[in-house]
Amino acid sequence: MKEKTQVADINRSLYDFRYEEDENDFLESGITTEVIREISAEKGDPEWMTEFRLHSLEIYNKLKMPQWGPSIEGLDMDNIVTYIRPKKRMQTDWNDVPDDIKETFEKLGIPQAERESLAGVGAQYDSELVYHNVRKEVAESGVVYTDLESAMHDERYAEMIKSHFMKLVPPTDHKFAALHGAVWSGGSFVYVPKGVRLEIPLQSYFRLNARGAGQFEHTLIIVEDNAYLHFIEGCSAPKYYEASLHAGCVELYVGNNSTLRYSTIENWSKNMYNLNTKRATVGEGGKIEWVSGSFGSHVSYLYPMSILNGRGSRAEFTGITFAGEGQNLDTGAKMVHNAPDTSSYMNTRSISKSGGISTFRSSVVVNENAVGSKSSVSCESLMLDDISRSDTIPAMDIKTDKADIGHEARIGRISDEAVFYLMSRGLDENSAKALIVSGFAENVSKELPLEYAVEMNNLINIEMKGSIG
């Protein structure tokens, strides 16, 4: 299980042309304290942040690359600078964006202006108005929703950020968390005061590409007691970056008797190494609900963790992963029960196709004090052909016998009989398979707001028709 998995090289010719024009811009390789100081100065960090970045860099230099998951040998860590600063003053042209990504935008029905922006090559797109409207409504409820960089400089939030930033995911966590701590850029800051229940979901969609953020973005959400928030990160449009590393970080603080619902659909371009870290801590009687769709990327490591610190706190994780040709997606979730009467529920689906590898990796830890806790893990995998792979690696560490733990895993193939049944009703083979897969993915799509569910279904249809990737 722990041996390295070899993945066929993706066709890089689509992307390689970019390196030529930029070659002269990157003189240094490897990150140095100078590079970090430079980044920090450019961003106008407060002093503590500069120190934090430098400290993270030290940790980064000491830590080893992860050796237990899909191979990330294709990541050229000696040239890490090219990952960190590729877009700096880059004169990118829409014509340079690979055709498969353009096609996907078209099929998702995203307007041209947005496409250019989402692809990271356009200027701010025309949704400013929408964005401002959302902001106004949100602001009236006392909720803060802004980008992390400006919030750090706002004296109302500066202390709050300092005392929460990378406290849940410390730079010592793993090598890419350390890297994130050193080079993070962009992202969202959300603060929901006590007793505020925000009915409309907040969507990062409107801001993600405003400043080329997205590659090392940091999301920090603090929900105080007796509050409610639904936050939606990303969208189904593929994000194209020349640099093929994404190491974001999400930290969620859920107060007593509060609920935070965190929905995300990630669809990275297929040259991307996605090494993302997401973590939540939940107070007494509080609840974290994760809804997670993982599409795209070449390699993914993604296991959102819920730490149930308050008595009676709950966590739910609903996820779907779709691995196509040349993709090795290692996803799952982690649950830590740290208090009595806590409960966690994991329900995932994974799909692999055309040689894709999808691995479900879960971990449930129930500590001695977490008596009366419940945990249920259910994962189902669907393989669409004989050359694809699907693995399940559940881990459980239960330190009390006063807990109720359940686990169930199912791996199956798409049945010829079902395809024939649907085809006998007029659906062509691809549509029949897509319908079966959409149905299989319904546990996630039904948890999403309608427009996202529709986008996700479109995405599945596109992947099924094999016209991209």
Partner 1 sequence: MSELLKITELTSAAEEKEILHGISLTINEGETHVIMGPNGAGKSTLGSVVMGSPEYTVTGGKIFWRGEDITDETPDKRAKRGIFLSFQNPIEIPGITLSSFLRTAYEQVTGERIKLFDFKKKLKAAMEVLQMDAAYADRDLNVGFSGGEKKKAEILQLLVLKPQLAILDETDSGLDVDAVKTVSVGIKAYKEQTGGSLLIITHNTKILESLTVDRTHVIVDGRIAAEGDASLITGINESGFEKYLG
Residues that bind partner 1 (CB under 8 A): 415-429, 431-432, 435-436, 438-443
Task: Quote the least distance from Cβ 325 to partner 1, whole Å.
Answer: 24
C-alpha 231/C-alpha 369 separation (Å) is 31
Closest to partner 1 by CB, 155 or 417: 417
Is residue 194 helix, strand or coil?
A: coil
**Residue of 171, 323, 204, 186 whose CA lies nearest to 241:** 186
Q: At what angle do helices 450-465 and 99-108 cross, to 10 degrees?
A: 140
Task: Quote the least distance from Cβ 295 to partner 1, whole Å.
Answer: 18
Task: Quote the least distance from Cβ 412 to partner 1, whole Å.
Answer: 11
Closest to partner 1 by CB, 396 or 423: 423
Task: Quote the least distance from Cβ 461 to partner 1, whole Å.
Answer: 12
Closest to partner 1 by CB, 266 or 380: 380
Closest to partner 1 by CB, 234 or 293: 293
Interacting residues of 89 by C-beta distance below 8 A, sequence separation 6+: none
Closest to partner 1 by CB, 94 or 420: 420
C-alpha 294/C-alpha 349 separation (Å) is 10
Do residues 196 and 235 lie in contact, with contact meaning Cβ atoms separated by under 8 Å?
no
Please give the structure tokens belonging to residue 287: 């609840």
Closest to partner 1 by CB, 192 or 435: 435
Closest to partner 1 by CB, 50 or 443: 443
Interacting residues of 373 by C-beta distance below 8 A, sequence separation 6+: 308, 337, 340, 341, 342, 343, 344, 366, 400, 403, 404
Is residue 125 helix, strand or coil?
A: coil
Task: Quote the least distance from Cβ 423 to partner 1, whole Å.
Answer: 4
Task: Quote the least distance from Cβ 374 to partner 1, whole Å.
Answer: 25
Closest to partner 1 by CB, 220 or 382: 382
Task: Quote the least distance from Cβ 458 to partner 1, whole Å.
Answer: 15
- Strand extents, DSSP E, 63-187: 144-147
| Helix (DSSP H) and strand (DSSP E) numbers for the chain | 14, 19
Task: Quote the least distance from Cβ 415 to partner 1, whole Å.
Answer: 8
Q: HEC string of 314-357?
A: EEEEEEEEEECCCCEEEEEEEEEECCCCCEEEEEEEEEECCCCE
Closest to partner 1 by CB, 386 or 417: 417
Backbone phi, psi, residue 91, to 5°: -90, 90
C-alpha 77/C-alpha 92 separation (Å) is 24
Task: Quote the least distance from Cβ 428 to partner 1, whole Å.
Answer: 5
Closest to partner 1 by CB, 109 or 426: 426
Give the position of tokens 């959302």.
Answer: 134
CA distances from 170 to 59, 60, 121, 181, 250 (A): 10, 12, 33, 8, 11
Is residue 86 helix, strand or coil?
A: coil
Task: Quote the least distance from Cβ 457 to partner 1, whole Å.
Answer: 11
Please give the structure tokens belonging to residue 339: 């208090």
Is residue 244 helix, strand or coil?
A: coil
Task: Quote the least distance from Cβ 14 to partner 1, whole Å.
Answer: 33
Do residues 301 and 334 lie in contact, with contact meaning Cβ atoms separated by under 8 Å?
no
Closest to partner 1 by CB, 90 or 418: 418
